[in-house]
């Protein structure tokens, strides 16, 4: 029997639909993504921790769920909302349907609602907290939502980071670079790409100190993407500040914001964020415009940048900062996801740019053993 469910938003608006997946009551910041594919990668992206995800593409689940496309070890969203979900997927890699995948992980979902209306509300009023429930009455949900913490007040990184350090890939494989990845909510495609480019990757918890990272003597450090407001991550910001200038550092998404804050810049919350696979970004170094994958609700304030920190990528929609470099330190950061998953792979060149920075900083060339072939870059492995 079909079970009815509803979504109550912070502003009091309510949307009714059909429940599928888990039946638990959940709450979180309600956000939307405009990508046309990649729902498995989105569901498992740690940057969605604490959020209920609305997908604008109307049919979701048609190619099922497989063993290779997850971007972390578990589903990270708190809930999923779609216009229509497909109960009978068709794909040669499919192992399980979307509904059973969500149900097995206790993640509630809702279909048969007007997602266009919901997204228009989020665009006009901004993202907001919501409750998704099959169990509560609407009045109970209205009382409950007043007691819930706002999304920006919670440190979600501590919930998604790895518990212990580990290495990615085969331990005895050839490598040309040793990279430490500070896991603030790491997507698996980042170490997949780096190992395909000749790097040995060591992933460490977000609580790891700068001294412990430097004791590993890596060629470079990468600060990963992750969820939440960078302003609440004071201890990680201190760690990043202590690393800058001592090792070549790359930051992606949340890592980009943490680098900016560590150098004295400010960040701010976007009205409804950038989440999708078709955001145009200009690389000011080459004057080319690239189509990028994005998933973030906060941005760096361009007017707050200190001396030496320079913008090198800008969003072609709204002019927000999409990338930074430093005049005197080996630093590169991007707000978008060069690794895609899901999304275009137009921006893999930025990992090359980072490795070139490592070569320059170390005064030596390690490039002989590297491979940048599409096959090696896209190799799917799990830790």
Question: Is 253 marked active-site?
Answer: yes
Give the 3-state secondary structure of the chain: CCEEEEEEECCCCEEEEEEEEECCCEEEEEEEECCCCCHHHHHCCHHHCCEEEEECCCEECCCCECCCCCCCCCCCCCEEECCEECCCCCCCCCCECHHHHHHHCCCEEEECCCHHHHHHHHHHHCCEEEEEECCCCHHHHHHHHHHCCCHHHCCCHHHHCCCCCEEECCCCCCCCEEEEEEECCCCCHHHHHHHHCCEEEEEEECCCCHHHHHHCCCCEEEECCCCCCHHHCHHHHHHHHHHECCECEEEECHHHHHHHHHCCCCEEEEEEEEEEEEEEEEECCCCEEEEEEEEEEEEECHHHCCCCEEEEEEECCCCCEEEEEECCCCEEEECCECCCCCCCCCCCHHHHHHHHHHHHHHCCCCHHHCCCCHHHHCCCCCC
- Of 29, 253, 279, 296, the catalytic one is 253
Closest-CA residue to 48 (of 81, 24, 18): 81
Gap between the Cα atoms of 212 and 202, Å rounded: 12
Verify whether residue 337 is a known catalytic residue.
yes
Could you say which of 29, 237, 322, 339 is catalytic?
A: 339
Residues 6+ apart with CB under 8 A from 65: 40, 89, 94, 95, 96, 97, 98, 101
Q: With 0-12 CB in 10 A as exposed, 13-18 as middle and 19+ as buried, what is 291? A: middle
Catalytic residue check, 326: no
- The one catalytic residue in 256, 279, 296, 337 is 337
Residues with a known catalytic role = 253, 337, 339
């Amino acid at each position: 029997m079909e079970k009815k469910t509803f979504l109550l938003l912070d502003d009091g608006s309510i949307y009714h639909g059909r429940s599928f997946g888990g039946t638990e009551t959940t709450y979180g910041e309600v956000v939307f993504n405009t990508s046309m594919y990649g729902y498995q990668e989105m569901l498992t992206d740690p940057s969605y921790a604490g959020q209920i995800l609305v997908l604008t593409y109307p049919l979701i689940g048609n190619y099922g769920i497989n063993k290779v496309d997850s971007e972390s070890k578990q589903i990270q969203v708190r809930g999923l909302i779609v216009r229509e979900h497909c109960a009978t997927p068709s794909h040669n890699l499919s192992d399980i349907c979307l509904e059973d995948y969500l149900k097995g992980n206790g993640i509630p979902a809702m279909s048969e609602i007007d997602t266009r209306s919901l997204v228009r509300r989020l665009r006009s009023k901004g993202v907001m907290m919501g409750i998704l429930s099959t169990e509560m009455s609407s009045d109970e949900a209205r009382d409950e939502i007043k007691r819930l913490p706002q999304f920006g007040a919670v440190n979600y990184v501590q919930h998604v980071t790895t518990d212990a350090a580990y290495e990615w890939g085969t331990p005895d494989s050839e490598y040309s670079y040793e990279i430490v990845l500070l896991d603030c909510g790491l997507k698996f495609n980042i170490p997949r790409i780096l190992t395909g480019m000749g790097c040995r990757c060591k992933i460490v918890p977000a609580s790891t100190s700068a001294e412990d990272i430097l004791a590993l003597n890596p060629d470079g450090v990468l600060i990963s993407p992750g969820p939440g407001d960078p302003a609440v991550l004071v201890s990680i910001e201190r760690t990043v500040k202590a690393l800058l200038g001592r090792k070549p550092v790359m930051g992606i998404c949340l890592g980009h914001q943490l680098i900016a804050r560590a150098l004295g810049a400010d960040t701010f919350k976007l009205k409804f964020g950038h989440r999708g696979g078709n955001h145009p970004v200009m690389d000011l170094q080459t004057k080319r415009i690239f189509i990028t994958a994005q998933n973030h609700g906060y941005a760096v304030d361009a007017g707050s940048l200190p001396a030496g920190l320079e913008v090198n990528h800008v969003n072609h929609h709204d002019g927000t900062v999409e990338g930074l470099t430093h005049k005197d330190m080996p630093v590169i950061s991007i707000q978008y996801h060069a690794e895609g998953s899901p999304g275009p792979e137009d921006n893999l060149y930025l990992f090359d740019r980072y490795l070139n920075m490592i070569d320059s900083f170390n005064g030596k060339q390690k490039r002989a053993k590297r491979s940048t072939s599409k096959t090696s870059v896209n190799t799917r492995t799990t830790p």
